[in-house]
């Protein structure tokens, strides 16, 4: 019996310290993949990557915030695709939004076509 207790005491592991770092979301890997798909021989510095990532995060927050406002004005709790499209018009501007929505629609059709294969 005493031998069993001694074995159990040896198997106990020290308590883990809780992690204080919170996980930060980032688009850096996707920015890098996009750069390599367009220009294979180009590089991007860490500062430039941080700047582009900050820009993408800012635009995402602006678009999501505006879409959320539009959904709440319609007394809905879910953001629809129309809310996103209207928020792109409001945040980016009409001319640039036209190109952004055209590219998004083209890639959405490409994704849907490849999904059914």
What's this model's pTM, rounded to 2 decimal places?
Answer: 0.71
> Does any domain span residue 1?
no
> Does any domain span residue 101?
yes
Quickly list H helices, the chain. 2-11, 28-38, 46-73, 81-92, 94-115
- Which pLDDT does position 2 carry in this prediction? 58
- Which pLDDT does position 1 carry in this prediction? 57
> Does any domain span residue 32?
yes
- Which pLDDT does position 4 carry in this prediction? 56
Distance CA 56, CA 25 (A): 11
- Residue 69 is inside which H or E element, if any? helix 46-73
- Which pLDDT does position 115 carry in this prediction? 86
CA distances 24 to 8, 30, 35, Å, are: 40, 15, 22
> Does any domain span residue 21?
no
> Does any domain span residue 4?
no
What range defines the domain where residue 83 resides? 27-114
> Does any domain span residue 31?
yes
Supply the CATH number for residue 82's domain: 1.10.20.10
Q: Provide block-wise average pLDDT over 10 residues at a time, the chain (117 residues).
A: 57 67 86 95 96 97 96 95 93 92 91 84
> Does any domain span residue 9?
no
Distance CA 20, CA 102 (A): 43
**Total number of domains in the chain:** 1
> Does any domain span residue 72?
yes
């Amino acid at each position: 019996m005493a031998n069993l207790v001694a074995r159990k005491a040896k198997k106990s592991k020290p308590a883990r310290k809780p992690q204080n770092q919170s996980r930060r979301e980032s688009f850096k890997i996707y920015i890098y993949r996009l750069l390599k798909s367009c220009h294979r021989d180009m590089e991007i510095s860490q500062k430039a990557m941080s700047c582009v990532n900050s820009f993408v995060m800012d635009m995402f927050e602006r678009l999501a915030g505006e879409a959320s406002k539009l959904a709440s004005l319609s007394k809905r709790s879910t953001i629809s695709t129309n809310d996103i499209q209207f928020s792109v018009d409001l945040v980016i501007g009409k001319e640039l939004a036209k190109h952004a929505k055209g590219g998004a629609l083209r890639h959405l059709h490409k994704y849907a076509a490849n999904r059914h294969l």
